[in-house]
Structure formats: structure tokens, C-alpha cells
Chain A
Amino acid sequence: MPLGASKIAAGCALAALALPYAITSPYYSGLLVYAAVLAMLATSVNMVYGYLGFVTFGQAAFFGLGAYTAGLLTVKLGISYWVAAPLAMLPGAALGALVGFASLRLGGAYFAIASLTAAEVLRLLAANWVDFTRGPLGVLVPAAPLPFQELLGLSMAQAYLAVVLLALLAVVFALHRLMASPYGRAWLAIRESQNLAESLGIETTRFRVVNVALAGAVAALAGVLLVPKIFVITPDLFGPTFSATGLLAVILGGRGTLLGPLVGGAIFAVLPEVLRFVDEIRIAIFAVLLLVVVRTLPGGLMSLVKNRRTARAYDQVDAPEAALAPPQTPAPDVRRAGNPAPLLEVSNISKAFRGLQAMRGLSFTLAQGEVLGLIGPNGAGKTTCLNLISGFITPDEGSVRFAGNDIGGSRPSVIARSGLVRTFQQTTLFADLTVRHNVLIATHLAATEWFASALLATSSYAKREAHRAALAAKVLATAGLAHRADDKAGSLPYGEQRLLAIALALAAQPRLLLLDEPAAGLNHTEAMQLVALLHKLRDQGLSILIIDHNLKMMMAVSDRIVVLHHGEKLAEGPPAEVRAHPEVIQAYLGGRKVESGEPATEARHAPA
């Protein structure tokens, strides 16, 4: 597979160089250039929308920025256009990084409108800052011959076409490399479930920023490459038409696929021109085509071609045969008898939500290599406690120490990186991706990955990828899901989905695993199988904090139990002790107690 991709790329490069010789009509080469430019613009939109999941309606902001930067540099400084061209990608990347940060606060439709507005601001600036940008008339960039065109015997139009095609190829190939790497996996994770991604140690902020910055650079490059064809740079390059074209081309071609944007961009460029013989109604025909596609092919045109393969894209590792021997994973702490230092120390944490005191002065510890159970009636604050420990909520008071470090208020991904990984109460998986892909994503923390090495696919990168693949295989085997590797995670039966969620957490190689109701919905047999698995993990050195309502299972699996009630600790101790504790019984079963006088509210919640 990796060799395949490189060979294809090399073949395409040769074709890109050979094709211009064959095309002598400037009209056709101009049309191809436009198709390639729109394909590149669509690719940049696809990076943000298809792979990261943010609908962007303002990609023209980067597009125009690239064009104006290159044009103004050329005209004002007198340098060659082709020297200015690569420089013009930088403002696109910078603006992209800014937008990446902004995406933290905005999602969905808001992000779309905000991006549209941002592009409008740039357009108005370009149209009104006349001294700098020459206003609405725009900047005239004279045709710039390429240095090598004489050497290769190409006309200016042909050389220009060659450059554009090669640039497009480079972009697509680089994107392919990135998508097959932890970067691409992180983006998909963020798209599918942000919370899950964070809990597995993926720093969503960093990856978002990188994604949009890259997309900005690519869109800027597209703008730069369009200018020699149109000669005049006008504020309309920032306009909604180009933004819409980019987005619609992606949707038409197939979002989240590598080739979809290329197909879509080409259609948007070529079809209106081809339809010029019906000049009056060509836009109408075009609109009807869009309508038909969106109604009948939600996955875009690419879904016609590669139905099954797209679901499985990038779910395998691009590396030589994955090492069969288990990788050298950092061994979790083996249970050391008598090791006094607790792994987790929760001291006096409190949290109020708008007047409701959800947690009050809770303290407990968890020793290395123990399984601590957390039980309590509904509303007792168990999941809140989990969220507070794992970084999804910040405590108002008190502290949380893990392995001696204060983690209160840290981001979930940072906490995960230090070895504390949680699962979620509602089954949280990357539902549309295969099981194998899910676990591969979860191996994110197995090794740090550098951007350059991912792009260049160095040999050390290949080793790391093999390591991740082996870890993923091992985790799948441990959870007993190896036979499901090719199935979509969302299609698994419920019990196996819960197992997969645990497998994902394991792939992050935690020292402490926080499980939120892992047995919910499992029957007795399945629950006991879960107990067996958890004990096996504990014996291998993993510490576990588990929340659940299945009291029989909790008694069986836990070394110690903490009971919560109304956000406070009610009891703590070995299972047998807790079970006989009168206040615990009363909290679960109700019954009147003379002192408290509380009505029986939780009477019916104690399961068998």
C-alpha cells in the first residue's frame, strides 16, 4: 500500500509533465488550469469540512489573500511572480491558525456564518483600502513567464499548466500522507467525537489549528495559481461565490474523500464552460445537476465509485508488515506490595452548577493496582466526580492529584497523556469508522509524531506506525474483538460496543482507567465476563476506578467501594462492609429514618 501510493504519485507526476505537451490550445490549457485551481480550493475546504467536520463558508478569505499577497508583492516590489507565489501561502496559514483557534468557541452553523462574514470583511477591506489594493478595479499582474519553459520547449500557457498540475499533485499527495498518519486520525476523531478524542489524549486544539492553518495555506496557493490566468486581481476573489464553489464542489464530489474534491472542482470549472452553447440556461442546468446529486447521492459522486473502500480508507497503517511481537509498551506499574503512595488522591472537591451543589467536599484515594468501585443512587454525583477527575469539568474547590501531580483544571487530553483515561456513560465510539480504525486512533499516545516525519514518511515514522498497529492488534485481542476489525463500530451489537469503548481506553495505555457504567445494558453473563476482563487487567498492573449500578457486579469486581449520596461520601470500605452499612442500605432502599425525616425518594433504584 505505501509503495502503491508513491508509485501512483510518481506516475501522476510524469503525466502532469507530459500532458502540457499534448495540449496546444490555450483555451483547453486555461480550462484545465481553472479545473485544477478549483480542485485545490475544494481540497482545502475538504480538509476543514470533510476531515475535521466544520462547515466553512469563507474559504475564499484565504483564496483571495493568497492572490492579493502574490500580486501585490510582484507589483509593488518588482519581484518575479513565481518567487512571490510560495511566500503568499504564509498569510493564508497565519489566518488559518487564527480561525483554527476561533473554531474552539464556535461550531456548526455559527462557524459557517462567522467564516462567511470574515471573508466579507476582507472583501470590503480590499475594495475600500484603495491606496493599498487599488480598490475595486483591482491589481493588474502582467503575465510572468516561467524560468524553465524555454528549456523544456513549452509555451507560457503550457508551462503554467505543468506548474499548476504538479502543485495540485503535491498537495493531494501530502494530504494523503497526513491522513494516513496520526494527524489524519486525530482530525477524524475530532470530527466524530470531540470528547472521545480528548479523553484519548488527542489535543484537539493543536490539531484543529494545524488543520485550518494547512487548509488556509492550500487555499492561498490556489488563489496564487489562478492569477496568471485572469491577469487582474479583484476583491471578488474574496466573495461568497468562490467560497460557495469550494464547499459545493466538495459536497458534490464527496466529502471526506481524497478524490471527491478533485472531481467536484473539475465539474464546477468545466461544466459551465462546456454548457456555453446553451449560454442562457447553463447555470440553471448546473443547479439542477446539484439538486439531483444531493438528493440521490448523499456521499457525493465518489460514493458511486468506491462504496465500501471509503469506509475503510486510512484504517490500516502505511508501514511495512507490522511487527508480530508485542511492542515494547511502557509497562504499567506492577502491583507493589506495600507501596504507600496512592495513585489518585481526591481531596475535598466541590462543584456547583448554577445553584445546585452537585458535589460537596468529596475525598478519597485510590492505591496503585486496586479496583475502586464508586456507587450511589442516581443523582449522587458519580459521573460528575468522573468528569472532575478526568478534566472535563473543573472543580470549584479542592484538588485532584494523580501520581503526585496536581491535575485539577488540566485539559482532558493532558490528563490522558499523564496516564488517566476514562470511558463514557453513553457509548462513545467513532461510529462510522471501522473497529480497527477506532483502535488505531486510540493509539495516539503511543508515540509523539512530528509533522515533518509524517509528511515525509521517514523510516522512524514507519517504525512508530508499526508499533501503533501492533498495539492496536493487541488491544483488540485482549477485548476479544479481533474478528470485528473490519466492521463499522456503530454496527456492533451493544455489548461489543461497550467492550470496544474499553478497548479504546486501553489503547491509550493508561495507568488508571476510569470506567463509567461499563456494564449498563449487559446481561449477567456478559457482566461477569467483564469482571473477568477487569481482574485480568488489574493483575497486569492496571488501576481501575469503576462506576456502575450493577451492585452484584460491583461487589464482585471491586477491591474497595466508595458510596456517594447527594454529592457527598456516605461510606468507604471493602465490599462486604459497605454492603452491610445501614446508611447505604437506607439510601438505596429508602425507609424512614427518624433523624433525617427524608421521604423515600430513591426506593426503586436499587437493581438486583
Chain B
Amino acid sequence: MKQASAMRFLASAAIAIGLAGHAFAQAPVKIGVLMPSKSLVGKQGLQGAQLAAELINADGGILGGRKIELVSYDTNFQPTEGVAAAQRLLNQDGVKVITGEISSTVALAVAQLAKASGALFVAAVPKHPDVTKGGYDRVFRLNSTTAMDGSEFDGFLKNDIKPTKVAVLAENSDFGRLTIANMKQLFGAQLVAAETYEMNQSDFNTLVTKAKGSGADLVCLAGSNMEQYGNILRVQEELKFAARRCLMPGILNSRGVQIAGKAAEGAFSADIYVPTIQNAQNQRFVAAYTAKFKETPEKIELLGFESVWITAQAMQKAGTSEDTVKIAQAIRGNVWNTPRGEVRFDKDGQASSGPLIRLVVKDGKIVPMAR
């Protein structure tokens, strides 16, 4: 009896080893993920990506049951790190597709490297227009650009909010500067204050005092760091600066609201995604994310998710995980169902998913604005 089961054991072992010899059919699909994972936004993006891989694998993987395996490195907002990490992915880890990233600067550098190596790069969060203007057909970007945001939000500000005097407080980055330039064009003489603050600044009393002194009745914040804009909102409240509070599209999230406390009440913004969107994909996404990470996912997590999700689906559609040209064509040529709705890509690789969702903070929560 023992001998028989031992023989069976050996037989199954032999089969298993034999199967392993045909492992190529079951080898995981490696996808590279670059994120500044030591920062909060990087961590959020990475978690979104990890969830995507998990859900895909739970659904049975792609390309005949192959599982997705993420290889991720920390880039810390530095082009030097980003390029080194990307190079490691491409040369050492045998990855053909790189996804993720938060910083436009790093994305630009990685895009150059991708162009030189024939790799595919799906950027998640970078907002600067130049990321997709490099003349390379295998770069994609999921987030909306400041230009796209502007075209919708500008009209909303001018015609619906109708401020008399506007103040813009922007971080000293490309995002902030583009916003200021845009506001100048939009409001002309109505723009009574346009101030920048440094990315490592933590005391905003002086900044807000200056804005208050300008007599603006609408204050627009353009800052990607939730701790900074959350703090600015609080200081506005402390200094009793009663203007309407606006946050530029794409930056409002619940942590910022938490930091701002009651100062965020009534603040409005717009974005491509809220967790309350009603569709099957989103419900699954939110439920799974909340279960795994004990937090509600927001835009950054979504984009991290999408960068892996869409890539994997495109690989499936193209029937390959190695031929970047085919995968790129698949991405461009299809409409994708994601938690935010339908996503399509233009010829430059820019994603779009319909109009921005207008948001307002009510009772400490971010909710879509009643139209």
C-alpha cells in the first residue's frame, strides 16, 4: 500500500517536473512598475497596481492562464533613479512593458529610455503634456493633462462660479506654473493674486495673508501634495479668509480633506474619478481595494490600477506579452472598461474618459456636485 502511494507520489512528481519543463506556457507575465513608493502618492499608486494584478490573476490570468507578476522599484521622484530602475527592468528583469510613475520629470526621462529601447511605457499619474509629445508611438498616459482639465473647468469657473476677484496659490512645479498661466489667460485683470510656494514649504501663513490682502473672493489651489493644500485650507480658515475655496482638477482627495478639517467644507473641484461612480467594475474595484488595504481608493489608486489593468487586457487582445508594437496598437485601437467608465486613447497615447466629475466637500466627504 505504502509502495503504491509512494509510486503515485513519484509519478505525480515526475509529471509536475515534466510540466515545469514546459513551463513557458505557464511562465508569469512580468510587468514593470515604477513608483516613488516611499511617498504617500507612490504607495497609493503601487497598491492600485498590485490590486490590478491580483484581480487579473484571480480571474484566471491572461494569455492562456499565465499570471501577472509585477516587478516594482522605487524612483523617489528622481530621474537618475527612474532611469536606473527602468534600465534594470528592461535589461535585468526581462520586462518589456513599464507602467506607473507619478512624476512628470521622471516620466519624461523614462519615455526617452523606452523610445531608445523599443519598450512600452504606460504612464499613470504624470500630468505634463510633454510626456506624450515625444514622437514615440509606444508611450501612453492615463491621467488627464492640465490642458484637458482647463478646457472643461475653465468654463465652469467663469460661467458658473462667476468670481469677481480670483487668487491662485500654486506649487512651484510645472503643474502649478501651467495653472497660473492658464488662470492669467482666463481671468485677465480679475486675477488679483498669483503666488507660488515651494514643494518643501510647510508654513503658509505668509502666503495666505498675502492672498487675503488681495481681496479675492475665490481662491484656487494648484498643489499636488495633499499635506500642503490641506494645510493652506486650514490656514485660510484660521486667518478667517472667507473666499470660496477651489482646488484645481485632479488634486482633491480624502486625505487632503482630513488634513484641512472643517476648512475644507464647501471646497469644490473636479476629477476624472470618484469612488462613488456606479458601474460594476468600480463596485468590484472599490470593494476589493477596501478589503485588501482598508481604505477607500481614489484617483491615484485608480490610475495605478488602470496602468496594469489596461496593459494586461491589451496584451490579451494582442495575443502577446513581448511584442510591444502589437500591444500598443491594441491599446490604441480599443475602448476599455475600467472603474471610471470607458477609456479611449488618442493617436498620441492620451487617455480620455468623458467629462470631468465636479466635486464638492460636504460634511467632510467628497461627493459629486449636484448639477
State yes or no: do A and B come from one complex: yes
A residues adjacent to B (C-beta < 8 A): 25-28, 30-31, 34, 127-128, 130, 135-138, 140, 142-143, 156, 226, 229-232, 234, 236, 273, 276, 279
**9 further A-B pairs in the complex, CB-CB below 8 A; given A136-B199, A232-B106:** A26-B91, A27-B88, A30-B84, A30-B87, A136-B174, A137-B108, A142-B112, A156-B116, A232-B108
Pair A276/B105 contact, Cβ less than 8 Å: no
CB-nearest residue of chain B to A137: B174
Which residue of A is nearest B128, CB measured?
A137
Complex Cα distance, B79 from A151, in Å, reads: 31
Whether A27 and B108, one on each chain, are in contact in the complex, defined by CB atoms closer than 8 angstroms, is no
* Residues on the B chain within 8 Å of A135, using CB: 172-174, 177
Chain B interface size range: 20 to 34
Contact A236 B172 (CB under 8 A): no
Instruction: Please give, as numbers and ranges, the residues of chain B lying within 8 Å of A31 by CB-CB distance.
Output: 84
User: B264 in the interface, Cβ–Cβ < 8 Å?
Assistant: no
Residue ID in chain A nearest B115 by CB atoms? A143
B109 interface residue (CB < 8 Å to A): yes
Q: Is the CB of B87 within 8 A of A232?
A: no
* Interface check B346, CB cutoff 8 A: no
- Given the known inter-chain contacts A27-B91, A143-B112, A230-B79, please indicate yes or no for A127 contacting B172, CB distance below 8 A: yes
Are B78 and A229 in contact, CB atoms less than 8 angstroms apart?
no
A276: B residues at CB distance < 8 A? 73, 85, 88
Asked whether, in the complex, the Cβ of B83 is within 8 Å of the Cβ of A128, the reply is no
User: In the complex the two chains form, is B105's CB within 8 Å of A232's CB?
Assistant: yes
B130 at the interface (CB under 8 A from A): yes
Give 22 CB contacts A-B under 8 Å: A27-B87, A27-B88, A27-B90, A28-B91, A30-B84, A31-B84, A135-B173, A135-B177, A136-B105, A136-B174, A136-B177, A143-B112, A229-B80, A230-B79, A230-B80, A231-B113, A232-B79, A232-B105, A232-B109, A234-B105, A276-B88, A279-B73
In the assembled complex, the Cα of A34 lies from the Cα of B88 at a distance in Å of 14
5 closest A-B pairs by CB = A27-B91, A137-B174, A231-B112, A231-B109, A232-B109
Answer whether A230 and B91 are a contact pair too, CB < 8 Å, given A236-B78, A276-B73, A279-B74. no
A591 to B361 CA separation, bound complex (whole angstroms)? 96
A28: chain B residues within 8 A (beta carbon) = 91
Q: Are the C-beta atoms of A128 and B78 separated by less than 8 Å?
A: no
A-contacting residues, B93-150, CB 8 Å: 104-106, 108-109, 112-113, 116-117, 128, 130
Residue B151 is within 8 A (CB to CB) of chain A in the complex: no
| Interchain nearest-CB distance for B113 vs A (Å) | 7
Bound-complex Cα distance A137 to B105 (A): 6
B79 touches A234 (CB 8 A): yes
Chain A, residue nearest B80 (CB): A230
Known A-B contacts A135-B174, A136-B105; A26 and B79 likewise in contact (beta carbons under 8 Å) = no
Q: Is the interface of A mostly helix, strand, loop or mixed?
A: helix
Closest beta carbon of chain B to A417's beta carbon, Å: 48
How far does the alpha carbon of A27 sit from the alpha carbon of B108 in the complex, in Å?
A: 18
Is the beta-carbon distance between B109 and A230 smaller than 8 angstroms?
Answer: yes
B92 interface contact, C-beta 8 A = yes
Residue of A nearest to B111 (CB): A231
Contact status A130-B87, CB under 8 Å: no
Q: Which of B83, B117, B172 makes the CB contact (< 8 A) with A229?
A: B83
Q: Shortest CB–CB separation between residue B47 and chain A, in angstroms?
A: 15
User: Does B83 contact A231, Cβ atoms closer than 8 Å?
Assistant: yes
How near does chain B come to A109, taking the closest CB pair, in angstroms? 24
Q: A140 to B108, Cβ gap below 8 A?
A: yes
B173 touches A137 (CB 8 A): yes
A231 & B173 in contact (Cβ 8 Å cutoff):
no
Cβ–Cβ < 8 Å partners of A130 in chain B: 177
CB-defined interface of B21-45 with A at 8 Å, one 1/0 digit per residue?
0000000000000000100000000
- Residue among A143, A232, A276 with the highest chain B CB neighbour number at 10 A: A232
Write out, one digit per residue, whether chain B residues 60-74 have a CB within 8 A of any chain A CB (1) or not (0).
000000000000011
Q: How far, in Å, is A287 (CB) from chain B's closest CB?
A: 14
Q: Are B87 and A26 in contact (CB under 8 A)?
A: yes
Q: Report how far A543 CA is from B73 CA in the complex, Å.
A: 73
Residue of A nearest to B83 (CB): A230
Which residues on the B side are within 8 Å of A234 (C-beta)? 79, 105
- Closest Cβ neighbor of A25 among chain B residues: B91
Contact B91 A138 (CB under 8 A): no
A140: contacting residue among B78, B83, B112, B177, CB under 8 A: B112
CB-defined contacts of B80 to chain A, threshold 8 Å: 34, 226, 229-230
Return chain B residues, CB-CB under 8 Å to A142: 112
Closest to B85 in A: A276
How far is A230 from B105 in the complex, measured between Cα atoms in Å? 10
Chain B residues near A136 (CB, 8 Å)?
Answer: 105, 172-174, 177, 199
Chain A proximity mask over B156-187: 1 for CB below 8 Å, otherwise 0: 00000000000000001110010000000000
Q: Which residues of A contact B91 (CB under 8 A)?
A: 25-28
- Complex CA distance for A126 and B128, rounded to whole angstroms: 19
Task: State in angstroms the CA–CA spacing of A231 and B177 once bound together.
Answer: 22
Residues of B close to A156: CB separation below 8 A: 116
**B130: A residues at CB distance < 8 A:** 137, 140
Against A, the Cβ 8 Å flags (1 = close, 0 = not) of B234-270 are: 0000000000000000000000000000000000000
CA distance A232 to B86 in the complex (A): 14
* Whole-angstrom distance between the Cβ of A249 and the nearest chain B Cβ: 15
Give the CA-CA distance A137 to B83 in the complex, in Å.
16
Q: How far is the CA of A27 from the CA of B117 in the complex (A)?
A: 11
B88 touches A26 (CB 8 A): no
Collect the chain A residues with CB atoms within 8 Å of residue B83's CB: 30, 229-231
**Chain B residue, CB-CB nearest to A141:** B112
The answer to whether B172 touches A128 (Cβ under 8 A) is yes
Could you say which residues of chain B place their CB within 8 Å of the CB of A34? 80, 84
A183, chain B: closest CB distance, angstroms: 33
Q: Complex Cα distance A130/B172, Å?
A: 10
Centre residue among A26, A30, A34, A137 by max chain B CB count within 10 A: A137
Chain A nearest CB from B150 CB (Å) reads: 17
* Smallest Cβ-Cβ distance to B173: which chain A residue: A136
How far apart are A55's CB and chain B's nearest CB, in angstroms?
Answer: 24
The docked-state distance in angstroms from the alpha carbon of A449 to that of B266 is: 75
Report how far A516 CA is from B37 CA in the complex, Å. Answer: 65
Q: Which residues of B contact A127 (CB under 8 A)?
A: 172
Q: Nearest residue in A to B116 (C-beta to C-beta)?
A: A143
Q: Report which of A26, A273, A279 forms a contact with B117, defined as CB distance below 8 A.
A: A26
Chain B minimum-CB-distance residue to A127: B172
Q: Which residues of B contact A138 (CB under 8 A)?
A: 79, 105, 108
- Measured CA separation A17–B371 after assembly (Å): 68
Which residue among B84, B117, B174 has the maximum number of chain A CB atoms within 10 Å of its CB? Answer: B84
- For residue A233, give the distance in angstroms from its CB to the closest CB of chain B: 8
Give bound CA distance, A30 to B84, whole Å. 7
For A130, give the chain B residue with the smallest CB separation: B177
Q: A595–B83 Cα gap in the complex (Å)?
A: 89
Q: Are A137 and B84 in contact (CB under 8 A)?
A: no
Enumerate chain A residues within 8 angstroms of B117, measured Cβ to Cβ: 26
Distance of A107 Cα from B88 Cα, bound (Å) = 43
